Structure 1
Amino acid sequence: MQSVLSIENLNVHYGSIHAIKGISLEVKKGQIATLIGANGAGKTTTLNAITNLVKKSGGKILFEGEDITNLSTHEIVSRGIVLVPEGRKIFPNLTVYENLMMGAYSRRDQEKIKKDLNWTLTLFPRLRERLKQLGGTLSGGEQQMLAVARGLMSKPKLLMLDEPSLGLAPLLVKEVFQIIEEIRKEGVTILLVEQNAFAALKVADYAYVLETGKVVIQDSGKDLLNNDDVRKAYLGIATK
C-alpha cells in the first residue's frame, strides 16, 4: 500500500530540551494511523513539526513522495495536509456556516464545495440544524464536530486530528470515533493523536506508542490492543 506520509529520523528541540528524538513513522494511503502516549510524550509536537508550526532540528518529511521538510505551513496545507488542532479553535463570532466556509477559503471549485458541504453536514447532522448559530454558542461536543467538519471542507488528502475526544462525554466520544471511521471510508487518510488509547487503537490500522519523544512500540491497532505492556500502561487493564 502506498505511503502518503513518511517521517524519517525527526528531531525537535525547544531550547536545550530534546522534545522529539529521532522519530520515524509512516501513514499509508486510506488508513488511520494513531500516535498514543502520555501527556508530554511528543504527540502534538510531532503534528506541529509536520506542518512546520514548530522548527525541526533534524530529519526528513515526505508527503506523497515529495520532500516537504522545509516548506512553509501555507505550502504544506496547499498540498492537502490539514491539522485540526487540540482545543477546537473555531471562530466563536462567526456562524457555523461561516466557520465551514473558512475551511474552504483556498478552494475555487464552487460546485464541489457545495457537494462537500452537503456530505459534511450529512456526517454532522447537528451542525446542519445550527448553520446560522454563532460558533461560540455551541456545546463543547458540537464545537469539536465543527472543528473536524471545517477541516474536511478544505478537501484534505491527509487529515491530522489532535485529541478530538478531549473533554467530551463518553457518548460523544463514541460518536466522534464513528465519524472518524466514516471519514476514512470516504478515502481520507487520517493521522490521529489521542489520549483515549483504547478508542484510538480500536479504529487504527496502525499505531505508534510515544514515550518521552521516542517511538517505543509500533504495530497494528488490533495487536497493540492485545499487547500486555500497552494494556497495562495505556489501557488501565491488568495483565495476567
Structure 2
Amino acid sequence: MSEKEAVILKVENLSIHYGAIHALKGISFEIKSGEIVTLIGANGAGKTTSLNGIMNVIKKSGGKVFFNNIDITNIETHEIVKLGVALVPEGRHVFPNLTVLENLKLGSYSRKDKEKIKEDLDWVLKLFPRLGERLKQLGGTLSGGEQQMLAVARGLMCRPKLLMLDEPSLGLAPLLVKEVLETIMKIRQEGVTILLIEQNAFGALKIADYGYVLETGKIVLKGYANELLVNDDVRKTYLGVTT
C-alpha cells in the first residue's frame, strides 16, 4: 500500500452520549492519506460531535480512534494536535483582541522549529493574501469571511497532517463559499488530508473524494462523492433536488 493510500484516520464504533441522549451510535469510518472526506447530514445528526470525539474534546461512551495507526482514543487533545491533527471549529473562534499575526502565531504554539514556522507563515499568507494585508489588524475587526480565513490559516500553522473543518462556509456570501471550497482543494494539494463538515452538501461533495451520510447518530450511507451526488435520496434530502 502506497503512502497516499494508507489509512490516516480510523474511527471504530464511536459512541457518545450527552446525558441521556445517545448522540453517536457506534459509527465507523476511515480516511486515506491525501483524501478529502466529507460528513453530511442534517443539524443534530452527529457531525460536530464526531469531530469533537476524535479530538477528545468530549468524553466517548465507547469505540476507538486511530491516527496513523496510533491509538488516540484517550490521548489529551493537545497531544493529538502535536501528532498532527487540527480542528477548525464551527463559529471561527478567532481571538478578537489579538492581531491577525498574533492569532496565527498561536496556531504554532506547540512547535519549536522556528524556521519552518516562518515558512508556514509565508505559505498561509500566500493561501490567504488578504490576511497578509491585515497582519496588524485586530481579529475582531475582520469581516466574517476574513475571520473564517484566519481560523483556517491558524489551524494550518500547526502543520497538520489531518485538518478537520467544521462548517467553514457557514454564514458566508456565495462568492466567499466558492473561495473557501477552492482553498480547501489547494490545501489538499499541499499534502494535507481533510475531513470536512459543510452545510453546503453539494459544494462539499463536488470537492470530496468520499462521503458519509449521518442521520441521528448513525452512518446510513457512504460512497464515492461523485456517486453520492447522483444518489436520489441524497439529492432529495441534502441537495434540495426534487426531480
Normalising by structure 1, we get a TM-score of 0.99
CA distance in 1, matches of 2:119, 2:65: 32
Partner SS, residue 168 of structure 1: coil
Which amino acid in 1 is paired with 2:56?
Answer: N
> Alpha carbon RMSD of aligned pairs, Å?
0.6
User: Which residue of the partner structure matches residue 216 of structure 1?
Assistant: 220
* Matched residue, 1:203: 207
Say if 2:10 is the partner of 1:6: yes
Q: Distance in 2 between matches of 1:25 and 1:139?
A: 35
How many positions carry a matched residue from both structures? 239
Q: Name the CA distance, whole Å, in 1 between partners of 2:14 and 2:111.
A: 31
2:73 counterpart SS class: coil
**Structure 2: which amino acid aligns with 1:123?**
L
**One of 61, 69, 74 as aligned partner of 1:70:** 74
Alpha-carbon distance between aligned partners in 2 of 1:160 and 1:238, rounded to the nearest angstrom: 31
Aligned match of 1:84? 88
1:196-220: CA deviation from partner (whole Å, max 9, x where unpaired): 1000000110000000000000001
Mapped to 2, the partners of 1:75 and 1:112 lie a distance apart of 20
- The list of structure 1 runs, each at least 4 consecutive aligned residues, that deviate by more than 4 angstroms after superposition, is none
Query: What is the aligned-residue identity percentage?
Result: 72
Unaligned runs of 5+ in 1: none
Q: Counterpart in 1 of 2:132? A: 128
Deviation at 1:185, TM superposition (A): 0.3
Q: Which among 146, 151, 154 is matched to residue 150 of structure 1? A: 154
Cα deviations across residues 135-175 of structure 1 (Å, max 9, x unaligned)?
Answer: 00000000000000000001001100000000000000000
1:149-168 map, 5 Å: 149-168=153-172
Q: Structure 2: 5+ residue runs without aligned partners?
A: none
Q: Trace 1:1-240 onto structure 2 (pairs within 5 A).
A: 1-239=5-243
- Supply the distance in 2 between the matched residues of 1:100 and 1:79 (Cα, whole angstroms): 19
Q: Distance in 1 between matches of 2:162 and 2:67?
A: 9
Q: Shift of residue 74 of structure 1?
A: 1.4
Q: Could you tell me which amino acid in structure 2 is paired with residue 140 of structure 1?
A: G
The one-letter code matched in structure 2 to 1:34 is: T
Letter matched to residue 78 of structure 1: K
